[in-house]
Amino acid sequence: MSTYNREDTKLLFAELQRTGDQTYREELARLHLPLVEYLAKRFKDRGEPLDDLVQVGSVGLLKAIDRFDLDRGVEFSTYATPTIVGELKRYFRDKGWAVRVPRRLQELSLRLNKIIAQLTQDLGRSPTVSEIAKMAEVTEEEVLEALESGQAYSTTSLDAPSGDDDDAPLRVDRIGQEDFRLENLEYFASLAPLIEQLPERERTILYLRFFKGMTQSKIAEHVGISQMHVSRLLTRILEFLREGMEGDAEY
């Protein structure tokens, strides 16, 4: 794990602001990943895989990096914390966590998460409700109930390729090499400025789903997050683009 160093952070920001070189942005993200992990752990009792929470928090981190201004004279970690926590809170809010899910359903959901991941791997595609029910030895209605409680669409996060070594790069970095071409989308002239506002991972997901025709499960595997998370991000991206076409929107 990189040792956190305030001077390094300042230098990196100075270089990033001077050159605009994205390598510095990535380095800053890597340097502050432990902060994201620390904050994500505070939400870990709510039934979501920690990996997903770290991914969500990383989005907040990248936003904070992009908005941080050295001249403000505050420490970056102080500045970034509310943004990261805000992103995590928003994630739970979007999921409708205000609704209490009965414990029985929560437990079933967690079990289904694993079964769905297993089936996705075995079948090479996303499973159907009846396949899940069969393997879980519960009724289809019980599966539907658990799915509708909004927790169990998750497929690959538990078995996602390891990225948890302390010195492994952010998964967000890995998809940076994806052959994503903004030109493919520039045809939709009014959308281009909106798409530019999306974080790289979101752009990649958008591209893979709608221009490459990749399924959510495949994208999940590719990007290293759960299918449920891909689904949620896609919904949010489309919402953002729709709002953006109408007027003002902020991703």
Partner 1 sequence: MVKVPPTAGHLALLRTAVGGFAARDHFTLDQVDDLRMAVEESAVQLLRHATGDFITLEVKATEPGVEVRVHAEVAGSEPVIDESSFSWTILRALADDLRIEMQQGHATIVLTKHRINVTSGPHR
Q: How far is CA 74 from CA 12, 43, 64, 86, 183, in A?
A: 15, 26, 13, 19, 38
Looking at 8, 15, 37, 131, which residue binds partner 1 (CB under 8 A)? 131
**Pattern of binders to partner 1 over 49-68, x per CB under 8 A?**
--------------------
CB of 181 to partner 1, least distance (A): 15
Q: What is the rounded CA–CA span in Å between residue 60 and residue 244?
A: 20
144 binds partner 1 (CB under 8 A): yes
Length of the chain: 251
Which of these ranges, 79-87, 159-167, 171-179, 213-221, lies near partner 1 under the rule CB under 8 A? 213-221
Nearer to partner 1, 175 or 228 (CB): 228
Q: Please identify, using beta-carbon distances, which residue of 3 and 190 lies nearer to partner 1.
A: 190
Rg of the chain in Å (alpha carbons): 19
H or E segment and range at residue 148:
helix 140-148
Longest dimension (CA), the chain: 60
CB of 67 closer than 8 Å to CB of 59: no
Q: Binding of partner 1 at residue 203 (CB under 8 A)?
A: no
Name the one range near partner 1 by CB under 8 A: 9-17, 31-39, 63-71, 237-245. 237-245
CB of 228 to partner 1, least distance (A): 9
HSE-up of residue 189 (Cα within 13 Å, Cβ side) = 0
Of the candidates 94, 122, 159, 164, which one interacts with partner 1 according to CB under 8 A?
Answer: 122
Among 127, 136, 156, 224, contact with partner 1 (rule: CB under 8 A): 127
Tokens coding 181: 């071409």
Candidates 12-20, 48-56, 101-109, 235-243; binding stretch for partner 1 (CB under 8 A): 235-243
85 forms part of the interface with partner 1 (CB under 8 A): no
Binding mask 163-202 for partner 1 (x = CB under 8 A): ------------------------xx--x-----------
Burial 135-160, CB ≥16 within 10 A → b, else e: bbebeeebbebbbebbbbbbbbbeeb
The single residue among 31, 217, 229, 240 that binds partner 1, judged by CB under 8 A, is 217
Cβ partners under 8 Å of residue 78, min gap 6: none
